[in-house]
A and B are shown apart, each in its own frame.
Chain A
């Protein structure tokens, strides 16, 4: 009788409540992966070419071709790298949850997932904020430093950059939720292992 009660208690603790939580966490991870992957792709493929007519010699106009690429600005490069790594991290976590239930290393699985989630939140927040402020300078210019705005000449570039930053911010909020859920899972795990 006592053994049966103990068995029921152990099974009840580990399988009934976290099942729906597991699917919620997985869905949020998928959405976060889509958001960060979108941000990476949109910013990485962000390129605009513009030809300006500078002068006219006789009847042939001299054209000047200007390109705006994301590689010109280190902040955008960091943005692409950070969001790329976040997408990779989300994909890895989804795979581990779906296919690698038995993967464990000395009982540190939940701790490693929580710490990795926190580092990814840090990375994405850094990338998103740097890109936001660079985009703000590009859009409004800076009169004190004599930096002219470039968004009136390269509208498509700025629009796509804006979309990427919005997607990354959405991904950041979702990653923060995921991180909080991972830490909660870590702190609430059944402590019946060592005692």
Chain B
């Protein structure tokens, strides 16, 4: 009924959609109250523009992934999907890279700029952010596999008939 190639592509897209959704949810629900030298404050994802960008970028890709899941196989929009896949891969990479840069400073600090690491005080927050980054990575790799799969399919249309 459904061709195995179409089933594989659908499965990969579902995995990618799930991964970006998980990244958004994990990052958006990460907040923790901690004490920092007897001053209590709350660490949220809105503290850094990098994490906000991560949430927004992954939300956009989640909506896109959801819409593409319902695209019928024969329509000519698949060429546009190929181009949009490349653009959204770039968006995902930049969001993960930005969030990781800030998370790395939060974990290790930067002694030369007198920036102290904050992960010791808000461990649960840091762990949840790490989880969101891992989900983002999984989504990225899945989208890259999908892009290569799409290009391969466009290059070999004769093989499907055999």
- The yes or no verdict on A and B being binding partners is yes
Which residues of the other chain, B, contact A162 by a CB distance below 8 angstroms?
A: none
Is the C-beta of B98 less than 8 angstroms from some C-beta in chain A?
Answer: yes
B102 touches A186 (CB 8 A): no
Q: Which of A115, A145, A180 contacts B83 (CB 8 A)?
A: A180
For residue A129, which residue of chain B has the nearest CB?
Answer: B94
A145 touches B97 (CB 8 A): no
Secondary structure at the B interface, as helix, strand, loop or mixed, is helix
Is the C-beta of B151 less than 8 angstroms from some C-beta in chain A?
Answer: yes
Q: Which of B36, B86, B147, B155 contacts A187 (CB 8 A)?
A: B155
* Candidate in A114, A128, A130 with the most chain B CB atoms within 10 angstroms: A130
Give, as a whole number of angstroms, the nearest-CB distance from A143 to chain B: 8
* Candidate in A133, A148, A176 with the most chain B CB atoms within 10 angstroms: A133
A194 touches B112 (CB 8 A): no
Is the C-beta of B162 less than 8 angstroms from some C-beta in chain A?
Answer: no
Give, as a whole number of angstroms, the nearest-CB distance from A158 to chain B: 12
Which residues of the other chain, A, contact B113 by a CB distance below 8 angstroms?
A: 72, 138, 147-148, 150
Interface string of A74-94 (1 = CB under 8 A from B): 110010000000000000000
Is the C-beta of A64 less than 8 angstroms from some C-beta in chain B?
Answer: no
Q: Which of A125, A127, A134, A136 contacts B90 (CB 8 A)?
A: A125
Is the C-beta of B158 less than 8 angstroms from some C-beta in chain A?
Answer: yes
* Candidate in A78, A114, A137, A179 with the most chain B CB atoms within 10 angstroms: A137
Q: Which of A73, A125, A137 contacts B97 (CB 8 A)?
A: A125
Please list the 7 inter-chain residue pairs (A to B) with the smallest Cβ-Cβ separation, ordered nearest first: A129-B94, A126-B97, A130-B101, A144-B47, A75-B101, A133-B50, A133-B98
B residues with a Cβ closer than 8 A to A are: 36, 41, 43, 47-50, 53, 82-83, 86-87, 89-90, 93-98, 100-102, 104-106, 110, 112-116, 118, 147-148, 151, 154-155, 158
